[in-house]
Amino acid sequence: MSDFDRETPPMTATEDEVKPTRQAYGDRSTLASDARREASAMAKEGLSHPSTKPVLTGAAIGAVAGALLPFVTLPLGLAAGAGYAFYKRVRPD
């Protein structure tokens, strides 16, 4: 059995050694799991959830920007504004 037949995680070279990607860059799945939990809570609680109103405000601002800017459409601006506001709620850093 060759080395290519085994299922190994992708490797990333660092200065001192080669580590699996998650060890080299940290666990990136926490953003996805945090976003999934937040979206699920927003869907269950509706407007009573603390993140819903800022995300809707971001969507409105994005929609206005999409209507005013010639190269951005209204739906694209709405999605971008909501996405940015949602990201800032999940990762406020």
Which residue type, as a one-letter code, is found at position 54?
P
pLDDT at position 49: 87
Average pLDDT over residues 12-29: 50
Asked whether the beta carbons of 89 and 55 are under 8 A apart, the reply is: yes
List of residues 6+ apart from 93 with CB closer than 8 A: none
Say whether pLDDT at 64 is over 90.
yes
At 54 the three-state DSSP class reads helix
Average pLDDT over residues 51-77: 92
Say whether pLDDT at 8 is over 50.
yes
At 35 the three-state DSSP class reads helix
Average pLDDT over residues 30-56: 88
Q: How confident is the model at residue 78 (pLDDT cuts 50, 70, 90)?
A: very high
- Looking only at the bridges linking them, the beta strands covering 18-20 and 11-13 are antiparallel
CA distance 31 to 54: 19
